């Protein structure tokens, strides 16, 4: 093998990438083959063929990878119910009774489902909250399907409660007249509201609707009747329509402002809310006394038929006084008894108030209603031949079986239509362990091991970025029987993001998880619980997850394990809740989770000991059909899934390849700096010890200055005039005019006439190009040293005396000079001057120390004439003949040092357009050079040139500039991803390195440190310009497009540095300038 080092390096890279991601390795192979083909077969058509081949190749790799992804959890687990909570009545079957016993449940209470499971077998129907009014009057469905399904499982009908409740009103929420007014404002708004309700009832199979609009403004009250009428018409056949109304004043039945008779004619049930006779805003008293309820019934029966009237029964209490906050202004009967017992007070039954009361020693007064109170209200309803009674609220109510057993309970047959079925499990309750912020390679495997050892399922809300970094852990989570869920891609607060970005966060995480597991998650938890628990979220983010087909999952127990409070505290907080159904929040990522790992076995043991069964959230909530979207059953569905998985695999592989590219770029850039900077320092120290020859001592060397000129009428005179100041043995100056269309030649002759002491030779070579003109003059060169000078460049007076000592060594074929920008008065010129000093000169110093100077600049370089002749002069096959010639000299065995004291001042492009053209030409030409000499690359037989010089040239002038945009795009990605600190740190580090190198370079070259003020502009303006120019040059080279010279407009603004100014008379006295008449003698002797 000709290049064993290259082969070994390539195989090593492929092996490392394949170890991280086999798909990425496959994509990398496709990319490398395509790159090889493009480099060997350039041209637009071949580039298109290569692009087609790349697309085909990576698609094939991605499809194969997608086919290898296993499918998990294709079935649906049944909804689970703890058997201990299903209190069985004597008869759960269909009963044709005459009394409707209804129970209300607040759907978002932690124990709502458990309460329904316990009470539904003894109820006719369950009314579940879950529908509200938006500020614009539209219908908002919060989803109470869990209560609906559990009600049907218990044999009770389910009714959806629609309220004008505002959770953001007051300290803890209240009913809002404004919300109801918005819904009732016009016939159009009422109809739209009704249509939305009817659609939900039909879709989710509710058995009826309860309209609970409270605190209505009088102008809005007539609209309620119209809304009820429209709803009666819109609801499916058989649906019950109930309206809940407050209790009217006993002495004024019309005080509500409603036409009760008209309302009663429209609805199936008018429900009087005969509770809250006394509340925390009033004086202490009963929740609902029998006399007060009797008066309300008597008043209502004047307008409402008895068979349509229900009355309310309370199962809660209120506290007034100093301990009200501690006890809770609203509490359950059990809590009331506990509070009284704690104060060593025996509660007393108040027959008139139909409730229990207790007066605590600190003056706190308690009133509550319980099962005894409800039984009395039910008895009153039966004696009055009413339609029924409604209990508020099931989560606080005690078992109602004793009441149901004594009444003619009406129970209409309902079917359990849930597709995945329901199943009772023996246990006190159900608990789901959930883990956020993973997967983490340190903690997730330990947690998985604990769960597996205990036979307990977990639900892992994975962050997309972490899942991308640890795909094997995600697959292990699934394979072990756990559930994988969505926790956004980068764990940002969604409420602080624009809506489009919030959607992208959720969608990207699902895409990642589906790409890894083959299943699309439906469970979602927002970072910090921002969407599940924050009431102040932006209206645009309301129901964001559900609008994307996701099911938000909150938590009931948060032991704050992320704060590392200690293992015992985590266990205590996690296992102390008495709720029947629990979702416990823990973390397997985002920091040190050693305490969490240590606590999990104890949490499992304690919950098992208390009789809890471990499940996943989808088994707790009927509104969650399954933890993953259903498997595709059609061709197009399978095709869609295949595309999603394949595109993720491509994204993942691209991410891996890009990551490795960034690593390689970083390592190569660091290596270049670590190598070049010390070498440049050593070179500078050694060059200080070099003794320069004094003017007038030529040591046998003679110098010919060769100036190629094409359309240089603006600058040629200045360039020639500056030669009069140059010290050293100049024997000849040749101006090689090549095909100018202006008066360059005439201007050169005029200037030559002003300096008759110099041996001028003005040649008109014709349109043969720069290399052709130089080669045409080479045979007539007199000096043994040839100084090549661009026609827009002026030599420093000491240039010749600086380079000649190097030619005393017979192996030196050329000397690279120090080119500086002479037109620095504008920002663009200063930026170019800064680059020449800090970057180009640094590279040449380091290369010179290794003996591999890659370019002797055409603006100012010195060559041994014999060396030029031996390599055939200047090559004309590239746009950068100076770089091509340098490589040929090195390949021929000549040494090329760099002399920082050999200074020339060049005129840099004055406009951005001309600058881009120049740098595009340099990029194109350098690429040509590396391609022409690729056969020498990494060959031991090519010596330093093949092992160091050409790789350095390729790396610094082709590869790193070409890959520069990857680094910049990565920084942009970090910023878009919210990683400002990392992006800022990387940028600050890069600028700091730039500043350190630039400071040394400026001091070494005797330049002003004021150039350091240009660092920000160099990073944010200059760098993008250069990357753009390099990309343009490479693109033209790959497509096989020719790049022209595009000569810049000359402004004759280059000037010799002030430190080098010398009067013309002083220069003439000091130099060994040879007159024109001595030229013949010099030629004959030389």
Q: Give the burial class of 1072: count Cβ atoms within 10 A of its Cβ; 0-12 exposed, 13-18 middle, 19 or more buried.
A: middle
**What is the phi-psi region of residue 238: left when phi exceeds 0, alpha when psi lies from -120 to 50, beta otherwise?**
left
Pairing of strands 814-821, 860-864: antiparallel
Pairwise CA distance, residues 1085 & 521, whole Å: 90
How far CA 799 is from CA of 349, 794, 1001, 1005, 1054, in Å, comes to 114, 10, 20, 15, 16
d(CA 931, CA 934): 5
Strand order in the sheet with 317-320: 330-331, 317-320, 365-368, 355-359, 348-350
Sheet holding 898-906, edge to edge: 760-764, 730-737, 703-709, 785-789, 860-864, 814-821, 898-906, 793-795
165-166 and 174-175 beta bridge pairing: antiparallel
Alpha helices, DSSP H, located in 246-289: 260-266
Tokens of 577: 């809740």
Distance between CA atoms of residues 272 and 275, nearest Å = 9
Residue 436 appears among annotated catalytic residues: yes
The number of C-alpha atoms within 13 Å of 579 and in the hemisphere containing its C-beta is 21
The total of other beta-carbon atoms located within 10 Å of residue 533's CB is 12
| Alpha-carbon gap, residue 227 to 219, rounded angstroms | 14
CA distance 337 to 319: 12
Q: Which of 77, 117, 166, 436 is catalytic?
A: 436
Residues contacting residue 345 through CB under 8 Å, at least 6 positions apart: 358, 359, 360, 361
Among 150, 152, 587, 806, the active-site one is 587
Q: How far apart are CA 493 and CA 499, in angstroms?
A: 12
Integer angstrom CA distances of residue 170 from 136, 174, 275, 428, 894: 19, 7, 22, 37, 89
Q: How many Å apart are CA 512 and CA 470, to the nearest integer? A: 11
Please tell me the total number of residues recorded for the chain in this structure: 1086
Q: If we measure between CA atoms, which residue out of 1049, 759, 761 comes closest to residue 907? A: 1049
SS3 state of residue 605: helix
CA pair distance 314, 292, nearest whole angstrom? 13
**Distance, CA of 441 to CA of 446 (rounded, Å):** 9
Q: Are 479 and 453 in contact (CB under 8 A)?
A: no
- 1042, two tokens: 């020719």
Give me the phi and psi of 292, to 5 degrees please.
Answer: -65, -40
Provide the β-strand partners of residue 129.
161
Helices 635-688 and 980-1004, axial angle in degrees (round to 10):
20
DSSP secondary structure string for all residues of 812-842: B-EEEEEEEES--SSHHHHHHHHHIIIIIHH
DSSP H helical ranges for 689-798: 716-722, 744-753, 769-778
- The number of beta carbons lying within 10 Å of the beta carbon of residue 662 is 15
* Residue 282 neighbours by CB under 8 Å, 6+ apart: none
Q: Write out the two tokens for 116.
A: 């329904």
Active site residues: 436, 587
């Amino acid at each position: 093998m000709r290049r064993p080092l290259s082969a070994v390096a390539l195989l090593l890279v492929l092996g490392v990438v394949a170890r991280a991601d086999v798909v990425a390795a496959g994509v990398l192979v496709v990319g490398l083959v395509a790159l090889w083909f493009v480099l060997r077969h350039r041209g637009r058509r071949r580039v298109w063929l290569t692009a087609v081949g790349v697309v085909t190749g990576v698609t094939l790799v991605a499809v194969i990878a997608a086919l290898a992804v296993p499918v998990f959890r294709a079935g649906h687990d049944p909804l689970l119910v703890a058997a201990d909570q299903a209190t069985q009545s004597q008869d759960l079957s269909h009963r044709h009774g005459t009394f409707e016993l209804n129970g209300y449940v607040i759907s978002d209470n932690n124990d709502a489902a458990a309460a329904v499971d316990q009470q539904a077998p003894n109820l006719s129907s369950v009314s579940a909250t879950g529908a509200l009014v938006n500020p614009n009057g539209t219908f908002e469905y919060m989803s109470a399907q869990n209560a609906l399904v559990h009600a049907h499982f218990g044999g009770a009908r389910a009714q959806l409660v629609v309220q004008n409740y505002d959770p953001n009103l007051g300290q803890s929420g209240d009913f809002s007249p404004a919300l109801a007014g918005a819904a009732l404002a016009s016939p159009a708004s009422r109809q739209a509201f009704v249509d939305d309700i009817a659609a939900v009832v039909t879709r989710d199979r509710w058995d009826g609707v309860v309209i609970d609009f409270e605190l209505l403004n009088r102008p809005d009250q007539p609209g309620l009747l119209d809304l009820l009428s429209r709803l009666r018409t819109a609801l499916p056949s058989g649906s019950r329509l109930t309206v809940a109304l407050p209790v009217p004043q006993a002495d004024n039945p019309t005080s509500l402002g409603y036409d009760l008779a008209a309302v009663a004619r429209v609805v199936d049930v008018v429900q009087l809310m005969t509770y809250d006779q006394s509340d925390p805003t009033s004086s202490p008293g009963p929740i609902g006394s029998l006399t007060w309820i009797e008066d309300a019934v008597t008043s209502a029966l004047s307008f409402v038929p008895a068979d349509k009237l229900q009355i309310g029964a309370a199962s809660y209490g209120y506290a007034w006084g100093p301990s009200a906050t501690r006890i809770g202004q609203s509490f359950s009967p059990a809590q009331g008894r506990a509070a009284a017992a704690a104060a060593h007070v025996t509660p007393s039954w108040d027959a008139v108030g139909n409730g229990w009361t207790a007066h605590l020693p600190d003056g706190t007064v308690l009133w509550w209603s319980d099962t005894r109170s409800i039984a009395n209200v039910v008895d009153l309803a039966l004696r009055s031949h009413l339609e029924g009674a409604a209990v508020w609220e099931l989560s606080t109510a005690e078992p109602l079986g004793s009441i149901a057993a004594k009444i003619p309970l009406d129970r209409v047959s309902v079917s359990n239509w849930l597709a995945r079925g329901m199943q009772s499990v023996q246990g006190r309750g159900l608990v789901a362990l959930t883990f956020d912020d993973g997967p983490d390679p340190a903690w997730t495997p330990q947690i998985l091991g604990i769960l597996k050892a205990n036979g307990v399922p977990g639900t892992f809300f994975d962050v997309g970025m972490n899942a991308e970094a640890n795909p094997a852990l995600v697959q292990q989570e699934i394979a072990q029987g756990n559930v994988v869920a969505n926790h956004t891609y980068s764990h940002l607060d969604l409420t602080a993001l624009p809506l489009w970005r919030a959607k992208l966060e959720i969608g990207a995480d699902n895409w990642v998880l589906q790409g890894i597991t083959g299943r699309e998650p439906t469970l979602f938890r927002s970072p910090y619980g921002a969407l599940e628990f924050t009431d102040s979220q932006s209206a645009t983010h309301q129901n964001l997850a559900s609008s994307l087909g996701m099911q938000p999952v909150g938590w009931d127990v948060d032991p704050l394990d992320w704060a590392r409070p200690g293992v015992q505290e985590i266990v205590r907080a996690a296992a102390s809740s008495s709720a029947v159904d629990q979702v416990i929040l823990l973390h397997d990522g985002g920091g040190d989770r050693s305490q969490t790992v240590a606590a999990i076995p104890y949490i499992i043991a304690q919950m098992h000991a208390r009789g809890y069964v471990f499940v996943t959230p989808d088994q707790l909530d009927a509104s969650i059909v399954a933890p993953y979207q259903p498997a595709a059953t059609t061709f197009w569905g399978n095709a869609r899934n295949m595309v999603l998985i394949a595109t993720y695999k491509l994204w993942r592989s691209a991410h891996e390849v890009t990551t490795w590219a960034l690593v390689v770029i970083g390592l190569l850039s660091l290596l270049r700096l670590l190598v070049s900077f010390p070498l440049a320092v050593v070179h500078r120290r050694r060059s200080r010890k070099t003794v320069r020859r004094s003017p007038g001592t030529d040591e046998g060397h003679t110098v010919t200055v060769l100036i190629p000129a094409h359309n240089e009428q603006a600058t040629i005179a200045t360039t020639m005039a500056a030669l009069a100041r140059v010290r050293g043995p100049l024997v000849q100056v040749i101006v090689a005019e090549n095909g100018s269309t202006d008066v360059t030649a005439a201007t050169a002759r005029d200037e030559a006439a002003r300096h008759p002491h110099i041996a001028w030779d003005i040649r008109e070579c014709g349109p043969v190009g720069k290399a052709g003109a130089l080669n045409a003059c080479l045979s007539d060169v007199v000096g043994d040293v040839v100084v090549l000078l661009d026609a827009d460049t002026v030599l420093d007076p000491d240039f010749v005396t600086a380079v000649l000592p190097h030619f005393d060594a017979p192996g030196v074929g050329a000397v690279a000079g120090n080119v500086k920008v002479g037109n620095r008065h504008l920002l663009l010129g200063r930026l170019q001057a800064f680059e020449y000093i800090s970057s180009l000169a640094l590279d040449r110093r380091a290369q010179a120390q290794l003996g591999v100077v890659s370019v002797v600049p055409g603006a100012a370089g010195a060559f041994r004439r014999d060396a030029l002749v031996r390599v055939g002069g200047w090559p004309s096959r590239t746009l950068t003949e100076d770089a091509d010639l340098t490589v040929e000299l090195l390949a021929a065995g000549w040494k090329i040092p760099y002399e920082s004291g050999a200074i020339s001042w060049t005129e840099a492009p004055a406009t951005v357009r001309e600058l881009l053209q120049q740098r595009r030409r340099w990029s194109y030409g350098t690429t040509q050079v590396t391609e022409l000499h690729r056969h020498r690359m990494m060959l031991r037989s090519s010596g330093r040139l093949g092992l160091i010089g050409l790789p350095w040239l390729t790396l610094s002038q082709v590869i790193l500039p070409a890959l520069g945009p990857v680094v910049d795009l990565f920084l942009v990605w970090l910023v878009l991803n919210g990683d400002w600190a990392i992006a800022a740190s990387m940028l600050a580090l890069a600028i700091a390195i730039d500043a350190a190198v630039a400071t040394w370079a400026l001091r070494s070259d005797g330049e002003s440190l004021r150039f350091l003020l240009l660092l920000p502009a160099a990073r944010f303006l200059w760098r993008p310009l250069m990357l753009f120019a390099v990309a343009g040059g490479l693109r033209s080279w790959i497509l096989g497009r020719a790049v022209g010279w595009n000569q810049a407009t000359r402004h004759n603004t280059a000037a010799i540095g002030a430190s080098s100014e010398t009067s013309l008379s002083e220069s003439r006295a000091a130099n060994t300038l040879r007159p024109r008449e001595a030229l013949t003698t010099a030629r004959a002797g030389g």
